[in-house]
Amino acid sequence: MAEEHQQYRRIILMGPPGSGKGTQGAILSQKLGLHTYSAGELLREATQSGSREGLAIKKIIDKGNLVPAKYIVNRIKAKLMEPENLKGYILDGFPRTLQQAKVFERLQHKSFFKQNHLQVDLVLLLQVPDEYVLERILGRSSCATCGTLYHEKFKPTKVFGVCDVCGGKEFTKRADDTYETVVSRLRNYRSVTAPVIPYYEEKGLLVCVDGTGPIDVVSEKIRKIVGY
Ligand SMILES: [Zn+2]
């Protein structure tokens, strides 16, 4: 287990969908002055770049196939080797599979990573029960006019049905925020991503955080662990 007084700057954020990874990643990014990278974002960037590898990735995605771990890890590698990331980085939702974790592990033994101390030093797991994920995702909506985000329980409008910011009265939900989609994403997380957890636990890198409760309470717990 990690010691509390230590500082961590090469961080993997893990947790089920709806655990608040994205939000906490953004807070950490800002506080530590580090970039947060997510695999999805990097793949999108690659396919839009028009590079040879990007085109190969696009072909795979267009066919509806899973992008092999080596492509994803290559994208991550290219980013982490940029000079501005030598002071650290945050990975959001990567590795998503055990195979990605193993390919990434091999990369960390390469001399560039060792010499620049780029090896992951902390894996933060945000733990939230399924019921909480469902409540959190199914309760969220945004103002159709200005896009302000709300949650019927955690962040309701001050006046029922009226946007605090613009006075709009129409609210929309994301198309994939349905019960069926969330349950299937949770199931997918459990079968595909959860096996990564014991992998990092064995390496002594894993620290679990209770991800329930208000954003600032969770980020305070993370602050103590990360050390800033
Ligand atoms: Zn609004």
pLDDT at 2: 47
Known catalytic residue: 185?
yes
Whether residue 3 has pLDDT greater than 60: no
CB-side exposure of 212: number of CA atoms within 13 Å?
A: 8
pLDDT surpasses 60 at 218: yes
Give pLDDT tens digits for 166-181. Answer: 999 999 999 989 999 9
The percentage of the chain sitting over the pLDDT mark of 70, rounded to a whole number, equals 98
Inform me whether the pLDDT recorded for 4 exceeds 60: no
Distance CA 141, CA 130 (A): 19
Q: Is the pLDDT of residue 64 over 90?
A: no
Strands 140-143, 149-151: pairing is antiparallel
Confidence of residue 101 (pLDDT cuts 50, 70, 90): very high
Output the pLDDT for position 213: 87
In the residue annotation, 140 being an active-site residue is answered as yes
Judge whether 174 counts as a catalytic residue: yes
**Mean pLDDT, the chain, whole residue set:** 93
Cα–Cα distances (Å) from 159 to 50, 156, 226, in that order, read 48, 8, 38
**CA gap 200, 194 in Å, rounded:** 11
> In the prediction, which pLDDT does 93 show?
86
- Strand-pair category, 122-127 with 206-210: parallel
Say whether pTM exceeds 0.85. Answer: yes
Among candidate residues 9, 21, 77, 136, the one labeled active-site is 21
Query: How much is the average pLDDT of 125-154?
Result: 94
Of 16, 220, 43, 12, which Cα lies nearest the Cα of 124?
A: 12
What pLDDT sits at residue 103? 94
The answer to whether residue 223 is catalytic is no
How far does the centroid of ligand 1 lie from the alpha carbon of residue 159, in Å?
12
- Catalytic residue check, 9: no
Q: What is the CATH number of domain 10-129+192-223?
A: 3.40.50.300
- How far is ligand 1, taken at its centre, from the CA of residue 45, in Å? 30
Q: What is the pLDDT of residue 5?
A: 64
User: Is omega for the bond preceding 95 within 30 degrees of 0, making it cis?
Assistant: yes
> What residues are neighbours of ligand 1 (ion), with CB under 5 Å?
143, 145-146, 148, 163, 165-166, 168
Residue 214: its pLDDT value, please?
A: 87
